[in-house]
Amino acid sequence: MSNRNHAATAASFKFVLIVAAVLALTGCVLVIFGCAFEAQSQLDLLRASGPAAVDAYLAHVDSHQLSFAAFMLESVTGHCYAYGAFLQGVGFWFVFVLSPLSVALLIAVRWLAARDRNVNLRLRFAAAH
């Protein structure tokens, strides 16, 4: 592999990492904002209705414990009981689904493009013989 091809491969690998990192970072920020929104909502409930209302809310949320995959699905469909669940769920989708999926797709596209170049190169050499 020539230095030019190696540099192009390294640059595209950096691009894949940057895309994945941006998506994962966006997801982490959304999860943190979801947690902050949940805490703020509980504080507002405490100020408006008192500790008994917060305890009732937390008991209601705790009674609907879901697996992680079910939480991710229910949060984006709007069926979770926690206030900040939507933002947290979208953040988890970014981190655990979109980021790895983008890496897989970018690597597949890069591999297919390299494969196509190799096939075209072989065909050119075959035609020259």
pLDDT at residue 115, as a whole number: 75
pLDDT at residue 108, as a whole number: 84
pLDDT at residue 2, as a whole number: 53
Q: Cβ distance 27 to 95 under 8 Å?
A: yes
Residue 81 vs residues 13, 25, 62: alpha-carbon distances, Å: 41, 25, 9
* Residue in 41, 45, 92 with CA at minimum distance from that of residue 66: 92
Band (38; pLDDT cuts 50, 70, 90): very high
pTM for this predicted structure: 0.78
pLDDT at residue 114, as a whole number: 75
Residue 87: other Cβ atoms inside 10 A: 20
Mean pLDDT of the chain: 84
Residue predicted with more confidence, 45 or 9 = 45
The owner of tokens 């469909």 is 77
Q: From CA 123, how far away is CA 114, in angstroms rounded? A: 14
